[in-house]
Structure 1
């Protein structure tokens, strides 16, 4: 898990840095972090100015750009471009997965999902369990 955390630090995202590694037969076969696709500006968020309706105060909040890829998706697509198969592999991710990434994990044939921090929406974890994937929360 510490390796996934280190990979996550490479992310240029300000709000949340997420890292993922895929392990098979004791070897790291792929890794990824949340960020923009190749060829895009490497900035994950944009500033959105809002106005508080009660006070009239202006606030600036960071919003994630739609094109940002999640760490799990980055790791899976990198593995798909390599000679390694993810069938039967494990994935270690700093955060629990969203529903979209859970679908990719199922399709990639990954059998175990390890994570540290749980996201408020657990539908991704629910899908993994429904697909028979072992889900393990790592605490240290």
Structure 2
């Protein structure tokens, strides 16, 4: 750590992370990215047979037993570290060239993995707001921003004073209605509506941006255009995106989809 810190703009790789204490120390630094690298057990077994011919060959059962201990031993296992990896590479590639091609495609050294862009930052806040949702149909979160400052947040659910949707407060959402149908009987406020109500018209001005983890529905789009928001950024598509885009475009609101760097499990298989 003492060596790397003054040289943080250079790229280093270490595999010397054997405990959560070591990991915690590294995670405090803004230049550290945890990447897990794994492969199916049968792939690792075949690689061992191919690359370790000069060593004693264990039985497959002994190999699996040792691999399990390496991962799941209660005090020395690496499983607690793997589950915290930002990117988890599952490497089944049969050649280095194939692996390198796929690593280039996901761009591991993308600097936004270390320090999020403003889009990523506000979208993460929208995702966090969604965790407060009580709607039985889906979680949606929203953040309203002006000059890179949060004006308000919102999530979907029943209004103040009413029983929460997930406690039976909205008959429509607790029934079998398909998404986007029977909305006239729904008692839940949408995340965008909550954020707009919280902000109030006087706090919204030209240049305000609405971040939502799901593309706004048609009804919310009309309200977004009315209050004078300049741009809507969303991450997940919805069933009426084309109609939403038409309304927002007519209202002078720019709509775009946010695509973050690829994280989680990344399958590195042979490229066909």
TM-score (norm 1): 0.82
Name which of 202, 210, 215 aligns with 1:91.
210
Larger proportion of strand: 1
Structure 1 residues not aligned, in runs of 5+: 49-60
Measure the CA separation in 2 of the matches of 1:107 and 1:130. Answer: 11
Matching residue of 2:128: 6
Q: Is residue 226 of structure 2 the alignment partner of residue 76 of structure 1?
A: no
Matching residue of 1:128: 248
Q: CA deviation at 1:62?
A: 6.3
Q: For residues 46-125 of structure 1, what are the structure 2 equivalents within 5 Å?
A: 46=171, 47-48=174-175, 61=176, 66-80=186-200, 85-88=203-206, 89-122=208-241, 123-125=243-245
Aligned residue pair count? 126
Whether the aligned pair in 1 keeps the contact of 2:135 and 2:188 (CA below 8 Å) is no
Larger proportion of helix: 2
Whether the aligned pair in 2 keeps the contact of 1:114 and 1:136 (CA below 8 Å) is yes
Q: Which has the larger radius of gyration?
A: 2
Q: Relative contact order (alpha carbons < 8 A, sep ≥ 6): 1 or 2 greater?
A: 1
Q: Secondary structure at the match of 1:11?
A: coil
TM-score (norm 2): 0.44
RMSD in angstroms over aligned alpha carbons?
1.9
Q: CA deviation at 1:125?
A: 2.2
